[in-house]
Amino acid sequence: MVALNEAKRRTKIGFEVEEIDTEQIARVLRDKTYVPKISKKPSKPSHDLELSARQLTGQPASLGIANGKARVISKSSDLFEMRKGEVLVCDAIDPNMTLVVPLSAAIVERRGGMLIHGAIIAREYGIPCVTGVADATRLIHMGDQVVVDGYLGIVTITSKANGPQR
């Protein structure tokens, strides 16, 4: 590692250990004018796998465990599509959204806290609720099958809406 740092200092160019072999390091240390040939790594992996979240954590706000298809609410008009037994996923429940809460199997909110409106309503109706789930509306998609654990504050995406089971 000392030799690599010295070679970097002498050539005044940046490179990583994986980009240069030991013979080139030795040559840089012997010949101050030599510039090593750096092989760049591919910027994108060659495989076509898509990474996605499986478990999201938040703050338990109402006890219980429930599962169902996710209904992501991003605007007021999405409320009209809510069906009984779906998991309500939103930024935060405002008082105008209270009418759909009894239809929900569970609630997942991006904003957090035990005293936010959604958590209070969930406890009143006995519906599991997890709040403070960072990027919940971005990571959970409409129709994803999810399990909401209101005891531990964990939301598990068991299967994607248009993808294979995990």
DSSP 49-113: -----SEEE-EEEE--EEEEEEEEE-SGGGGGG--TTPEEEES---GGGGGGGGG-SEEEESS--
Residues with catalytic annotation?
Answer: 117
3-state secondary structure of 29: helix
Q: DSSP class of residue 35?
A: -
Query: Which positions ≥6 away from 122 have C-beta within 8 Å?
Result: 61, 62, 101, 107, 128, 129, 150
